[in-house]
Structure 1
Amino acid sequence: MNVSTSLNVFDASVSRPEAVRRCAATGFASLDMNYWDFQKDVLRMSPQEEEAWARDIRASADAHGVRFTQMHGPVHGPCFAKLALDLGLDDYTKLVERSLRTAAILGVPWVVFHPTNVTGEEGEAYRDVLEFNVGFYRKFIPLLEATGVGIALENLTDRRHIRSYFSLPEELAELIDTLNHPLAGACWDTGHGHRQSVSQTAGIRTLGTRLKATHIQDNDGVSDQHILPYQGTINWTEVVQALRSVGYEGDFTYETHNSIRNLPDGIRDSGLRYAHDLGNYILSL
């Protein structure tokens, strides 16, 4: 495992090629591209403009000796019936396809997506939600096979009175097994699992060899805080030992922007160096 970070440690005022350069300069050889931070921008671009944008980012990665090992794809909102940015399902489908093509340009092997409820209404049946998600993500398999890019479906978090399906690792495993394709895997979000009161060992071992990506973040078990390890209450020795026990081959990828992006820019690079050192310490446990 390499310690990796999402580029969302920098807000949009810093160009993605410059964000790549600064992450590389602070020790990161592996990166995550947060596509969903730029959903509004992408929707204003032509496909040709998006391709040029992606190629500029890839050129920066190549020039600075880093590679993208994950990407966070577009996020659809609280449920499929209430999509972000007031998109219709067809428009969101096209955005997913665009993100996968951009991932291929960046050399990303796994793009993370959120499986979720359909209507968001109380009483929605799990089997109906499972069937809908299988049908939705299965439609991308021809594009996955054409590009070689995989999708990693992420465990969510459920703190509302209405069940948010796929917050439990058993549900996520069933979705991936039903898709039954080598380019469909899982992403384990440590913060979501902690907030869900799922032990890191149980979550990671349930997903087992399905696990292709990680979102490493800490919290207090109540809020989804996206902070660095040891700033919350997760047991990080447990996380690392569980990842090793299932033979996880991906990266230890931070989604900890609230510990870095909120710093004054003049000290942000120092925060990144600390984060890199901290990750390597955890991986030595």
Structure 2
Amino acid sequence: MNISTSLNVFGTDYEQAIPVCKAAGFEALDFNYWDHQKDVMTKSWEEEEAWAHRIRQVADENGLRFTQMHGPVHGRLFQQMVPGLDIDSFLTLAKRSLKTASILGVPWVVFHSSGVSVEGESNREAKEFNVKFFQQLFPVMEHTGVGIALENFYDRPARPHAVRRTYCALFDELIELIDALNHPLVGGCLDTGHAHEQGIHPNEIRKFGNRLKATHINDNDGVQDQHLLPFQGSIQWASVMSALHDIDYKGDLTYETHQSIRVLPNALREEGLRYAVAIGQYLIGLKGELAGA
């Protein structure tokens, strides 16, 4: 298990971020395509291809590999997309992101599943829609060898004192979707912060078994999606690492902790990243102690 981080600790400046992450001691990287989404949507495929090759070159020059990528984001719902997207243009963007991931050497691209409409629908209807949508990515996945890892989310407030259910906020829903897609290049991404907001105990991570291919490691207070470093919130990290050990998780410990790093002055950012690496080493040590027990 390597210690990895999303490049979103630096916003969109990958040329600055990659060497600083290397100097801090990170062993792998996550590329956040979503951070570049507005810019990518203005590029031709030829421009995006050249851009991806440049990013790969910088990573290679620094001796770092990209082991996962956060793919494009469609919005809260499939019928409530971010500006500039509809279902067809998002599908095109998703396919392009898989080709970019292939250039970067990324094995797993993380996507959000979601509900469909503002009015809401049954879980069965949401599952069927998500299955049909993600199946459309199979030809590109099989051509590139790049897999998709679907991420758990959390229920969101709909109005004061009410909560709108979010499809795949529960592990059981996400696992059911992964199994319905039934493809070796489909797995799961555990977002520890989303699970904590949802009130899911780390013991439930064991439900993923060998489906788990990627992680978004971050902490919070159990109420807000704060994207903090471990031990800055209230997640039980010993329980998280015990569960990852028990399912023999093979992927990386990948931080999505930009809110703990971006707030630092530039003069302190590398020191903050070294501290993040030290925390990761401690967590992996916990997993190692469990293996030797």
Question: Considering the TM-score relative to the shorter chain, is it more than 0.5?
Answer: yes
Aligned partner of 1:141 in structure 2 is 138
Deviations 1:61-112 (A, max 9, x none): 1111110001000011110001112311100111101111100000000000
Aligned equivalents of 1:96 and 1:182: distance in 2?
18
Aligned partner of 1:174 in structure 2 is 176
The TM-score with structure 2 as length reference comes to 0.94
Aligned partner of 2:58 in structure 1 is 60
Aligned partner of 2:129 in structure 1 is 132
For the residue of structure 1 that corresponds to 2:129, the secondary structure is helix
The equivalent position to 2:198 in structure 1, one of 191, 196, 199, is: 196
Q: Give the AA of the match of 1:232.
A: G
Aligned partner of 1:259 in structure 2 is 260
Identical aligned residues as a percent: 57
Q: Give the AA of the match of 1:125.
A: S
- 1:19 deviation in Å? 1.2
For the residue of structure 1 that corresponds to 2:18, the secondary structure is helix
Superposition map of 1:1-285 within 5 A: 1-12=1-12, 14=13, 16-122=14-120, 124-160=121-157, 161-202=163-204, 204-285=205-286
For the residue of structure 2 that corresponds to 1:85, the secondary structure is coil
Aligned equivalents of 1:9 and 1:162: distance in 2?
30
Q: How many pairs are equivalent?
A: 281
The TM-score with structure 1 as length reference comes to 0.97
Q: Give the AA of the match of 1:99.
A: S
Deviations 1:6-63 (A, max 9, x none): 0000023x2x132111111111120000000000000111111111111111011111
Aligned equivalents of 1:60 and 1:86: distance in 2?
30
Deviations 1:100-145 (A, max 9, x none): 11000000000000000000324x1110000000000011111100
For the residue of structure 1 that corresponds to 2:66, the secondary structure is strand
Aligned equivalents of 1:85 and 1:51: distance in 2?
24
Q: Give the AA of the match of 1:165.
A: Y
Q: Give the AA of the match of 2:2.
A: N
Aligned equivalents of 1:121 and 1:231: distance in 2?
37
Q: Give the AA of the match of 2:197.
A: R
For the residue of structure 1 that corresponds to 2:25, the secondary structure is coil
Deviates more, 1:156-165 or 1:243-252: 156-165
Structure 2: state its 5+ residue gaps: 158-162, 287-293
Deviations 1:255-275 (A, max 9, x none): 000000121111111100110
Q: Give the AA of the match of 1:83.
A: M
What do you get for the CA RMSD once the two structures are aligned? 0.8
